[in-house]
Amino acid sequence: MADRYLILEDGSAYLGEGFGSPAVSTGEIVFNTSMTGYQEIITNQIYHNQIIAFTQPTIGSYGINHDSYESILPTVKGVVVRDVASISTNRQRRWSLDQYLKQQNIPGISHIDTRHLAKQLRASGPMKASIVDVADAHAFDQLGATVLTNQQVAAVATPKPFPNPDTGLNVIVIDFGLKHGILRELSKRSCNVTVLPYTATTEEIINLDPDGVVLSTGPGKPQDLPDSVLTMIQNIQNRIPLFAIGLGHELFAMANGAQIMKLSPEHHGANHPIREVITNQIIYASQGQGYAVNPDTIDRNKLITTFVDLIDGTIQGLRYRDFPAFSVQFFPDGAPGPTETRDIFDEFVESMQQARGPVW
């Protein structure tokens, strides 16, 4: 393995060893504290145009398998680890992490002090970074001159509708950067799913006669999406049961008058303690968020808070008072992370069944 450098826009540089693709890449660097689930994290489209630094010391120990993809084509810009495992005894393994990153043209860098890097990012927040061969003035100039796109949803969301068929309730999923875990959970409940682009209009959704609508997870800043998305949510939420996740949760809040604020540090990891307000029960969930709903801007005549993060108090769930519309900031499907939040999908199914009424 050849020496490579991780350079940051604040001028710092980390010497390490390259693995995966030898490509030079630039993206926004964030750290993730999950102890497992690196394949799900790398293939999660919320990390579009980002370099992921894993704080778990060894990554790659169980390889890559067919069951843990959250998207077909990952769009991360790089992977940063302390140590990368080259040997795995996992019977499901198809490739090593090194082989997989080579296939996907994603560079990796190991032998980085990820604990020091995480502390640095916790203090500064995400910043631009590059994985390069030489940490010279030219490399830093190139990093500083790079402008990262703010059209992340358009880059990863489906441009055309596609089905995930079954024989149960008819569910429309609006794709802002869909995690496959959402489709898996809906399939377990026999939902007949049609995935639509984020540009779908109210009329296009209604014409498919849905029993419910899901607003998916996705990357980037919610304010960068067109106002037509908020209009669609406003038109749908009082007519059809609605369930919003991640970026969808933020858009649901915006559609009802709330404002979104930037988080520093961001939340990326599993086992985040979250309190369910109505029961006072503590649950643990997987998170990946750079933005949060500003609690001071919530219209309490419309929305009630259902979940709160116990670490920093950020809003993790909302519910409309008058209609069967609700949202969560975390990943209720897990993938990776705890699975105790999957019953939220059951709640969504129950809301659709109640709205549908008895079937004779």
Catalytic residue ranges: 333
- How many Å apart are CA 55 and CA 113, to the nearest integer? 9
Question: What element of type H or E holds 4?
Answer: strand 3-8
| Angstrom distance (rounded) from CA 152 to CA 238 | 29
Is the dihedral angle over the CA atoms 130, 131, 135, 141 positive or is it negative? negative
The reply to whether 251 sits in an annotated binding site is no
Rounded CA separation 121/113 (Å): 12
Q: Is 220 annotated as a binding residue?
A: yes
- Report phi then psi at 2, rounded to 5: -85, 155
Asked if the bond preceding 159 is cis, omega within 30° of 0, the reply is no
Q: Do strands 127-132 and 25-32 pair parallel, antiparallel, or not at all (unpaired)?
A: antiparallel
Judge whether 63 and 98 are in contact, CB under 8 Å: no
Among 65, 79, 94, 72, smallest CA distance to 20 is for: 79
Dihedral, CA atoms, 200, 203, 208, 210, nearest 10 degrees?
A: 90
3-state secondary structure of 334: coil
| Residue 291, marked binder | yes
Determine if residue 334 is labeled as part of a ligand binding site.
no
Query: Would strands 162-164 and 192-197 be described as parallel, antiparallel, or unpaired?
Result: antiparallel
Q: How far apart are CA 161 and CA 175, in angstroms?
A: 9
SS3 state at 296? helix
318 known ligand binder: no
Residues at the binding site for L-glutamine are 218, 220, 247, 290-291
Residues at the binding site are 218, 220, 247, 290-291
